[in-house]
Structure 1
Amino acid sequence: MAPNGAPHVGGLPFGGGRYVKVSLISTVKDAGAHVGEFLASVRTQTRPPDEVVIVDGGSTDGTWERLRAEPGIHALREPGAGIGRGRNVAIRAAAHDLIAVTDADCLLEPDWLEHLVEPVERGTADVAAGFYRPLATSLFEVVSAAVSVPERDELDRGWMPSSRSVAFRREVFDAAGGYPEWLEVGEDMYFNHRLRESGARFELAPDAVAWWRVRPTLAATWRQYARYSEGDALAGMYPHRHALRFGVYAGAAFALATRRRSLLTAAALGGAAYAWKPLRRTWTRLAVAPERRPAAVAMVAPMMAFVDAAKMWGYARGLLVLRGTRGRVAPAEDRA
């Protein structure tokens, strides 16, 4: 233990002030359109990372060449690697014991890293749960993001960070077994659960903001949420949440089919409560363009139904895959 009671990791004292070195890691594949902006946002950090490690999963659009030419970047090439494996490779290649993770299609606020690592540096947390906001320009993107991306005042102590914006000690990464390489999507949430199960201390870092690019089309949005939910099924995550979603929509369909006033009233009230947060987010995020609010509000309910349909489709597909593999998608040591 350090003199002040803070634990040591790899000889570096946590909790003794800002002298713990941090490795920033990310993965990338075919991000030529955005990687330059991402790297620029890394270079302008008020608390620069001591090391940047980026694993390329086999880009063919010039991304790899751009990374290799970028000064100060430790670029590794791992063709065919998924996000989980890419992150594990980057972390194991990193030199330091404080790891910050983001995605290479994000834009980082200049003080992102400074705020993100603060809870871990001062020794009050093993995992710092940063925040992310939608980088949305079209009305479609604003409404799509409002369905799933919370506002800061909605966060609570149980907030599970996306690996677009998270920092942790190497010790807890090792204790959790790293990111699951067998899981193509949802690997960060699975890793979060493993961190909590290992006893890691989480702390919110809501001022650590990464801007996340929202999918720009219906087709891309469908694929995104269907894949997320398929990953949930394969990893055994959130079964009650998915069962509730199926049940709610089945109940709404029954109410419409029977046309019983009491059931229709209950369905309408339940739907209004369900839509309240997305409606509020939409209204808030269009404060700079109030003339767009009526159209956006009208889009919220259809967008919610569309996203939920994608989630149900993906979850059902994942369950079918599980059934076909007799539940052996995950390695034995990763199965609950």
Structure 2
Amino acid sequence: MIAVVTTVFNDRKGVAEFLQSMREQTLQPSEVIIVDGGSRDGTWELLSEASDAQGYGFQLKIHQETGCNVARGRDLAIEMAGCELIVSTDIGCEWDSEWIEELSAPLRNDAGCDLVIGSWGVKREGLEGPWAMTEWGLKGDQFLEATPDSYSSSRSIAYRRAAWESLGKYPQDLTLAADDAVFHYLIEQAEVPRSSAPTIRCYWHRHKRLKSFLREASRYGLGDGEAAIRMKDHSLIAGRLLLEVIGLVGGGLGALFLVGWPRAVCLVLLTVAVLSIVARIARLQKARGALKREGIDWPMFRLLAFVYGTKFNSSVGYLKGLLRGGTACRSCRQRLREMTPQLYSERRAAIVSGDRSPNSFATS
């Protein structure tokens, strides 16, 4: 008894591909549950027609809640499930036919396993447009061949319903992104008994336009800030950007118009900023060569625009998230502070024995 859960918003084509992929799985799920966030492009109409027709080999359940975020959508989908084993993914991927069978195998074969971290990748041949290729040039072939200690993305993960309940479910107080990042940190802090599915069977589709990558960076930064996670990483990124801006603008102007020791300080700032930028460009030479061999025009310009644009948007998003999260995301932050292996074990035992309601552990 396996339920596959996912969310969607304005992706009619992705829904059609998802349903077809689930029909082709070597291990068919009992249920597929999709929560729609208020689509306006015909996605909900397609889902309604599919739900009325059924005939997939599994029961298709759908629900629409306009404006719900991804975390709430995931939670609603799991609450609608009648199965103990949950497989989670994101529409906007593609899946090999063995995906569910291999991802759920450790749960089906080992009663002591509560969660399975799935592998995922980005298909080089599936990238469309020069900006998708720019990300490829920077990051190379993105493949996560999961181990039990790998980062757990909710685009390819499986767990027992009791594990999800014991962790307090997904953090619905986040605006949009970082719900699976918080879930990952909760998994680690709880030391959830887990395994992995090391073969890549799930492939993540990437964007075509720079604007979409910049928007994604803003969302990720905002979610991380709201949850107050990865603070060191974001501080280093933002700090270097700020140093370069201050050094180029302030240092350059000061070196031109000031005298004495203030001018010397400005010259130092300018020199540091220039060296930082030169170091970035030097590190991008390998990516530039790869893009040039692929026939991408203006490779260095694209690389610099991508790097500086995504880092700037991520940093601004993070700052906004920190400010908003101080009041709006206290529950999420509290859960991250409080989760321990002992707390998880106590909750897990209470749920299994029926001593406590699972909803008593959930926070909004």
TM-score past 0.5 threshold: yes
State the 1:273 CA deviation.
Answer: 8.4
Q: Alpha carbons of 1:264 and 1:328: their partners in 2 closer, same or farther (altered >3 Å)?
A: closer
Over the aligned positions, Cα root-mean-square deviation in angstroms equals 3.2
Q: Counterpart in 1 of 2:157?
A: 166
- Partner Cα distance (2:107, 2:78) in 1: 17
- The number of equivalent residue pairs is 307
Evaluate the alpha carbon distance shift between residue 118 and residue 295 of structure 1 in structure 2; reply closer, same or farther with a 3 A threshold: farther
Distance change (3 Å), C-alpha of 1:267 and 1:154: farther
Q: Distance in 2 between matches of 1:194 and 1:136?
A: 33
Question: 5 Å matches for 1:92-241?
Answer: 92-123=79-110, 125-134=113-122, 135-144=126-135, 147=138, 151-152=142-143, 158-183=149-174, 184-241=176-233
Unaligned runs of 5+ in 2: 252-265, 338-364
**Counterpart residue identity of residue 81, structure 1:** C
Relative to structure 2, which stretch is displaced further, 219-228 or 112-121?
Answer: 112-121
- 1:298 deviates by 6.1
Q: Is 1:32 matched up with 2:24?
A: no
Give, in whole Å, the separation in 2 of the partners of 1:149 and 1:179: 31
Structure 1 pair 100/154, CA: closer, same or farther in 2 (3 Å)? closer
* Alignment TM-score, normalising by the size of structure 2: 0.73
Secondary structure of the residue aligned to 1:174 is: helix
- Tell me what 1:5 maps to: none
User: d(CA) in 1 for partners of 2:34 and 2:229?
Assistant: 28
**Corresponding position: 1:334 with 2:355:** no
TM-score (norm 1): 0.78
Paired with 2:10 and 2:75, the residues of 1 have a C-alpha distance of 19
If you compute each CA radius of gyration, which structure gives the higher value, 1 or 2? Answer: 2
Counterparts of 1:269 and 1:158, CA distance in 2: 36
SS of 1:25's partner is strand
CA distance in 2, matches of 1:83, 1:149: 28
Tell me what 1:42 maps to.
22
**Contact preservation (8 Å) 1:56, 1:77:** yes
If each structure's helix is expressed as a fraction of its own residues, which one has the higher value?
Answer: 2
Q: What letter matches 2:153 in structure 1?
A: S
Q: How far apart are the structure 2 equivalents of 1:272 and 1:219?
A: 22
Displacement of 1:88 in angstroms is 0.7
Partner of 2:355: none
Pair 264,224 (structure 1): closer, same or farther in 2 beyond 3 Å:
closer
Could you tell me which residue of structure 1 aligns to residue 345 of structure 2? none
1:52 aligns with 2:52: no
Aligned runs of 1:13-24 on 2, under 5 Å?
21-24=1-4
Contact preservation (8 Å) 2:22, 2:28: yes
Letter in 2 for 1:44: E
Amino acid at match of 1:63: T
**Unaligned stretches of 5+ residues in structure 1:** 1-20
Rate the CA distance shift 1:296–1:50 in 2: closer, same or farther, 3 A.
Answer: farther
Query: Is 1:91 aligned to residue 78 of structure 2?
Result: yes
